[in-house]
Amino acid sequence: TSILAALYAFQQDDWRRLLAFSTAENAAIAVTTLGASLLFRAGGENALAGLAWTVAVLHLSGHALAKGGLFLGADGVYAAGGTYRLAQRGWLRTTSLV
């Protein structure tokens, strides 16, 4: 799922769709890590299970914070240029106030 979502993300020409597929990719990574946590726990490796669970939670928390900022940035790009399309991003150099 993660690889497929990454491949779909590379094909997008819209900021919002790119960010959405990136979220799907990161969710798949977190679910894989949680699955590893369950496997470690079933094997009696409680320390590794706890570590894998902590990694998954930290990954999701960091991703949520970063993705929120990226969506706000995409809205700023839309406000400056009126489009979410990546192909038309050259206008940003000339119209941005930053």
pLDDT at 77 over 80: no
pTM: 0.72
- Residue 72 CA, chain-centre distance (Å), reads 14
pLDDT at 2 over 60: yes
pLDDT at 40 over 90: yes
Which sequence spans correspond to the domains of the chain?
Answer: 2-95
- Residue 80 CA, chain-centre distance (Å), reads 23
d(CA 69, CA 75): 10
How is residue 44 annotated by DSSP? T
Residue with tokens 């669970």: 53
What pLDDT digit, counting tens, does each position of 17-39 carry? 888 888 999 999 999 999 999 99
By residue count, the chain amounts to 98
pLDDT at 98 over 70: no
